[in-house]
Amino acid sequence: MAKIIFPEDFIWGAATSSYQIEGAFNEDGKGESIWDRFSHTPGKIENGDTGDIACDHYHLYREDIELMKEIGIRSYRFSTSWPRILPEGKGRVNQKGLDFYKRLVDNLLKANIRPMITLYHWDLPQALQDKGGWTNRDTAKYFAEYARLMFEEFNGLVDLWVTHNEPWVVAFEGHAFGNHAPGTKDFKTALQVAHHLLLSHGMAVDIFREEDLPGEIGITLNLTPAYPAGDSEKDVKAASLLDDYINAWFLSPVFKGSYPEELHHIYEQNLGAFTTQPGDMDIISRDIDFLGINYYSRMVVRHKPGDNLFNAEVVKMEDRPSTEMGWEIYPQGLYDILVRVNKEYTDKPLYITENGAAFDDKLTEEGKIHDEKRINYLGDHFKQAYKALKDGVPLRGYYVWSLMDNFEWAYGYSKRFGLIYVDYENGNRRFLKDSALWYREVIEKGQVEA
Ligand X SMILES: OC[C@@H]1[C@@H](O)[C@H](O)[C@@H](O)c2[nH]c(CCc3ccccc3)c[n+]21
Catalytic residue ranges: 166, 354
For residue 257, what are the CA distances in angstroms to 188, 248, 279?
Answer: 20, 11, 10
Please pick, from the candidates 38, 398, 417, 438, the single residue that binds ligand X as defined by CB under 6 A: 417
Does 296 contact ligand X by CB under 6 A? yes
> Cα–chain-centroid distance for residue 192?
20
Q: Which residues 336-355 are close enough to bind ligand X by CB under 6 A?
A: 354
Does 222 contact ligand X by CB under 6 A? yes
Cβ–Cβ < 8 Å for 34, 129: yes
CA distance 256 to 344: 10
Does 17 contact ligand X by CB under 6 A? yes
Does 189 contact ligand X by CB under 6 A? no
Does 33 contact ligand X by CB under 6 A? no
Beta bridge partners, 18, equal: none
- The DSSP string of 358-406 is -------TTS----HHHHHHHHHHHHHHHHHHHTT--EEEEEEE-SB--
Q: Which of 126, 80, 94 is nearest to 27 (CA)?
A: 94
Segment lying near ligand X (by CB under 6 A), choices 23-31, 108-116, 127-135, 164-172: 164-172
Could you tell me how many residues of this chain bind ligand X (CB under 6 A)? 13
Q: At 219, is the secondary structure helix, strand, or coil?
A: strand
Does 249 contact ligand X by CB under 6 A? no
H/E stretch holding 292: strand 290-294
Cβ–Cβ < 8 Å for 180, 173: yes
Measured from the CB atom, is 6 or 382 closer to ligand X?
A: 382
Instruction: Kindly state the DSSP code that residue 56 receives in the 8-state scheme.
Output: -
Q: Which residues 353-382 are close enough to bind ligand X by CB under 6 A?
A: 354
For residue 145, what are the CA distances in angstroms to 62, 77, 110, 119, 207?
Answer: 29, 22, 29, 11, 8
Measured from the CB atom, is 64 or 408 closer to ligand X?
A: 408
Measured from the CB atom, is 255 or 409 closer to ligand X?
A: 409
Segment lying near ligand X (by CB under 6 A), choices 53-61, 86-94, 161-169, 262-270: 161-169
Other residues' Cβ atoms within 10 Å of the Cβ of residue 424: 17
Does 120 contact ligand X by CB under 6 A? no
Measured from the CB atom, is 281 or 291 closer to ligand X?
A: 291
Measured from the CB atom, is 4 or 341 closer to ligand X?
A: 341
Task: Give me the least distance between CB of 276 and ligand X, in Å please.
Answer: 25
Please pick, from the candidates 408, 430, 432, 435, the single residue that binds ligand X as defined by CB under 6 A: 408
Q: Which of 91, 68, 94, 92 is nearest to 81 (CA)?
A: 94
Q: Which of 75, 67, 113 is nearest to 431 (CA)?
A: 67
Taking residues 48 to 67 in sequence order and writing x for each that binds ligand X by CB under 6 A, - otherwise, the string is --------------------
Q: Which of 424, 444, 377, 366 is nearest to 56 (CA)?
A: 424
CA distance 362 to 224: 29
Provide the residue type at 18 as one letter: S
Please pick, from the candidates 22, 123, 173, 244, the single residue that binds ligand X as defined by CB under 6 A: 173
| Residue nearest to ligand X according to CB distances in the complex | 222
Residue 79: cis peptide before it, omega within 30 degrees of 0: no
Does 400 contact ligand X by CB under 6 A? no
Measured from the CB atom, is 17 or 240 closer to ligand X?
A: 17
Measured from the CB atom, is 158 or 162 closer to ligand X?
A: 162
Measured from the CB atom, is 197 or 207 closer to ligand X?
A: 197
Q: How big is the chain, counted in residues? A: 450
Task: Give me the least distance between CB of 20 and ligand X, in Å please.
Answer: 6
Task: Give me the least distance between CB of 418 and ligand X, in Å please.
Answer: 10
Please pick, from the candidates 401, 413, 421, 438, the single residue that binds ligand X as defined by CB under 6 A: 401
Q: At 287, is the secondary structure helix, strand, or coil?
A: coil
Please pick, from the candidates 18, 165, 323, 355, the single residue that binds ligand X as defined by CB under 6 A: 165
Does 294 contact ligand X by CB under 6 A? yes
List Cβ neighbours of 15 (8 Å cut-off, separation of 6 or more): 76, 77, 78, 116, 353, 354, 399, 400, 401, 402, 403
Segment lying near ligand X (by CB under 6 A), choices 40-48, 163-171, 235-243, 248-256: 163-171
Positions that interact with ligand X (CB under 6 A): 17, 20, 165-166, 169, 173, 222, 294, 296, 354, 401, 408, 417
